[in-house]
Structure 1
């Protein structure tokens, strides 16, 4: 399946939210960007650290006109456990991401291999990490997908990149076909 291209319309995206409701990319109205963070799931201790960092920076992103959502293919129960156990009360956390939708976003999928170092079973299939910025007009601006849980882009750096992009009216890159 081809990956999405910056500068082009982002693929459709929707997932159910922990606590009720559905998050739909097409319904988002950020001042500048929607920040979409795909995480592996409850089984991933690195995801816990990463999403806690994102949670701590939600205000900084909001000041930049960026609204964030984190999503996974985890079940509602596992996502709710992550939201509560990882102390993410203000982060929109979505679950049950359709794997075909994940593929349309260029996310890598992995097969479960039992318990992780956190002592939690991996699901049979789950997504690997991805970070995306989608402009308010629905076009993809930034995409970062990974095949491993390690060495993710920092949210501090991403906030600085948003500042630069907005100040310089920097175009989406990686757009050439």
Structure 2
């Protein structure tokens, strides 16, 4: 089955999800203090590797904030599932739930069916990571079809710092169009 992937340099789509507090947020919108945004899509509470990855991401929050990057993590879990997952998550960045199949398709994510009812009770997105720059464009995209294929966070954070340094004049990569 073919799926449409987002292109580097394209505008990140408008997708509304819900924070644990019940507040609706748009994944593409940045707060007033951040110029860039890191959107992390994780599989959900059933995935111990996702829990580990999000907790590891917390170790980089201050550097990312100092670099002008805000963070949000989102899954297809329900409010109840996110609530039961939060005791294992030691993070200060917002967590959202309610990513639906249409959202997953829009983002070009791989979508999986649970192996059993013990895993989870709904289809879910495999990991995705999107870095949105100050103009709303996708600066970096990482999409995986399994929880063990994610970017190393220390390398990612160092890369973001390097890209954002104006003296490096680093353009969005991967935009060569083979159709022309």
Tell me if both proteins adopt one fold, taking TM over 0.5 as the criterion: yes
Greater displacement, 21-30 / 130-139 = 21-30
Measured on the aligned residues, the alpha-carbon RMSD in Å equals: 1.6
Q: Of the candidates 129, 133, 136, which is equivalent to residue 135 of structure 1?
A: 133
Tell me how far 1:4 sits from its aligned partner: 1.2
Gaps in structure 2 of 5+ consecutive residues: none
Q: Secondary structure at the match of 1:2?
A: coil
Query: For residues 11 and 148 of structure 1, what CA distance do their matches in structure 2 show?
Result: 23
- Name the residue aligned to 2:162: 164
Residue pair 2:34, 2:65 contacting (<8 A) in 1 also: no
Residue 28 (structure 1) aligned with residue 26 (structure 2): no
Gaps in structure 1 of 5+ consecutive residues: none
Q: How does 1:97-116 map to 2 (within 5 A)?
A: 97-114=99-116
Deviation string, structure 1 residues 57-113 (Cα, Å, up to 9, x no partner):
21111011000000000011111222233233x120000112111111111000001
- Name the residue aligned to 2:55: 52
- Name the residue aligned to 2:144: 146
- Between the two proteins, the alignment pairs up a number of residues equal to 172
Q: Secondary structure at the match of 2:6?
A: coil
Residue pair 1:129, 1:145 contacting (<8 A) in 2 also: yes
Residue pair 2:27, 2:39 contacting (<8 A) in 1 also: no
Q: Which has the higher contact order (CA 8 A, sep 6+)?
A: 1
Q: Secondary structure at the match of 1:131?
A: strand
Q: Of the candidates 86, 90, 96, which is equivalent to residue 89 of structure 2?
A: 86
- What TM-score comes out, normalization by structure 2 length? 0.89
- What TM-score comes out, normalization by structure 1 length? 0.90
Residue pair 2:139, 2:173 contacting (<8 A) in 1 also: yes
Query: For residues 84 and 78 of structure 1, what CA distance do their matches in structure 2 show?
Result: 11
Q: Of the candidates 66, 77, 81, which is equivalent to residue 80 of structure 2?
A: 77
Tell me how far 1:169 sits from its aligned partner: 2.5
Structure 1's consecutive aligned runs of 4 or more residues displaced over 6 angstroms after TM superposition are none
